[in-house]
Amino acid sequence: MSKPRCHSHALRLSSSSSHSRRVDFCRSFGSDQGTSNHKLMAETIGEVSSLLPSADILLARRVQELALNHEQPAHLYISRNDDDDDEPRRDGIPSEIPVIDLSKASPSDTDPSHDHRQELHNLRSALSEWGCFQAIGHGVPSSCLDEARRVTREFFQLPMDEKKKVAKGVEEMEGYGADPVPAKGQFLDWSDRLYVEVFPEHRRKPEFWPENPPSFRVMLEDYMTKMRMMTEQVSRAMARSLDLEDDCFLDLFGKGALLQGRFNYYSPCPRPDLILGLKPHTDGTSFTVIMQDAEGLQVMRENRWITVPTKPDTLLVLMGDQMEIMSNGIFKPPLHRVLTHSHGDRISIAAFYSPEPHKEIGPADGLINEARPKAYKNMKDYADIHWGYYQKGSRAIHEAKV
């Protein structure tokens, strides 16, 4: 069977006849207006979809193949307004993501210093106002970060047949490829990824751990082990910033807390004005730790997209929906997305940290009082609920609210 090719007229259909009906669903993601606008956009795509390749056919091929063959993106990849504003604010509202020194947020004795108390205050402010921060002093060696970037890039530069040895099906999550087929009318991401379960160890599927490059498995084990140490460090710092016991959140996550790795590759894109590497969303995790080798990731604040800078040895810590639940709404996960670029590729590595499966979570008891009543339900397996909504292009957090 020959490989399906993208129609050469697909881009023109979406960027001309549909343009007048395209709306900025990104800013209103999760709102009633956003849902209505998103449905309108999906209906527009549906008008021509019968003439164009379906999502499952498109997802059977890798974006990297399309880029190397200089093929025009198909209709379902087009998800962005021509005039979509991604410039930082210039009206006095801060546009720089806060930087937190985790070494200062971890006390060395029972009598915390002024620097320690100040950094905890800064951490709480960052997560209340931004829902994320740039972490320094995290204890992950530069050599480990450099090796992870190098080996990840080596993997994605392998011949396609070699990468496909760890390939997934279009409906599966774990392995090399793209995310499972979304709901009808939803947009596709201009990216490829390798997604693997790492901790607890019994959840690992070795068939999806690449044997080539030869150093990949060693790198994966080392990098994710250090990510696990960092997630514990962050969890304790967040608890201290809220005047909770150090292990409060760790106890909520459970001893079988999940740590999953996602290695992303963003190919050059011929229409970065219309296509996103990753659509706007919030994570269904407790929080996510992200390393990127070039700019492209953006977070939304005050209805503006702010670019996450790339700084040596700095890791982005991004709150997920489950942290909003456990903090009783004090910490807010940011809407975020990934841009595409017409020249040059880009990689990133995301470590997803979530409570153990089937463990009930809810707001920490110490955060519920008369001034701040319980705002979220106790619930299990929120990540599964989140994924169902994500595949339909909307948020799930309302399912958790009282």
Q: Which tens digit of pLDDT belongs to each residue from 215-237?
A: 999 999 999 999 999 999 999 99
CA separation for the pair 155, 167 (Å, rounded):
13
Q: Which tens digit of pLDDT belongs to each residue from 368-393?
A: 999 999 999 999 999 999 999 999 99
Q: Is the dihedral of CA 331, 173, 313, 293 positive or negative?
A: negative
> Is residue 178 classed as helix, strand or coil in its secondary structure?
coil
Q: Which tens digit of pLDDT belongs to each residue from 5-30?
A: 333 333 333 333 333 333 343 444 44
pLDDT at 36: 53
Q: Whose CA is closest to 238, among 309, 148, 335, 331?
A: 331
Q: Which two tokens stand for residue 222?
A: 């080392």
pLDDT at 398: 97
The answer to whether the CB of 61 falls within 8 A of the CB of 3 is yes
pLDDT at 82: 54
Helix (H) or strand (E) holding 263: strand 258-266
Distance of CA 101 to the CA centre of its chain: 22
pLDDT at 314: 97
> Is residue 216 classed as helix, strand or coil in its secondary structure?
helix
The answer to whether the CB of 234 falls within 8 A of the CB of 102 is yes
CA separation for the pair 261, 273 (Å, rounded):
29
pLDDT at 7: 34
For residue 55, what are the CA distances in angstroms to 40, 47, 170? 19, 15, 9
Q: How far apart are the first and last CA of the chain?
A: 52
How would you write the pLDDT of the chain (402 residues) with one tens digit per residue?
A: 433 333 333 333 333 333 333 334 344 444 444 445 555 555 555 555 556 789 999 999 999 999 999 999 999 999 987 556 555 445 555 679 999 999 999 876 555 677 999 999 999 999 999 999 999 999 999 999 999 999 999 999 999 999 999 999 989 999 999 999 999 989 999 999 999 999 999 999 999 999 999 999 999 999 999 999 999 999 999 999 999 999 999 999 999 999 999 999 999 999 999 999 999 999 999 999 999 999 999 999 999 999 999 998 999 999 999 999 999 999 999 999 999 999 999 999 999 999 999 999 999 999 999 999 999 999 999 999 999 999 999 999 999 999
Distance of CA 118 to the CA centre of its chain: 29
For residue 226, what are the CA distances in angstroms to 177, 198, 219, 223, 300? 25, 12, 11, 5, 28
pLDDT at 185: 87
The topology under which CATH files domain 87-400 is Jelly Rolls (2.60.120)
If you write DSSP's letter for every residue of 54-74 in order, what string do you get? -HHHHHTS-HHHHHHTTPPPP
Write down the domain spans for the chain. 87-400
> Is residue 20 classed as helix, strand or coil in its secondary structure?
helix
CA separation for the pair 76, 6 (Å, rounded):
11
For residue 197, what are the CA distances in angstroms to 73, 205, 285, 352? 31, 7, 14, 10
If you write DSSP's letter for every residue of 242-258 in order, what string do you get? TT--TTHHHHHH-TT-E
CA separation for the pair 290, 310 (Å, rounded):
11
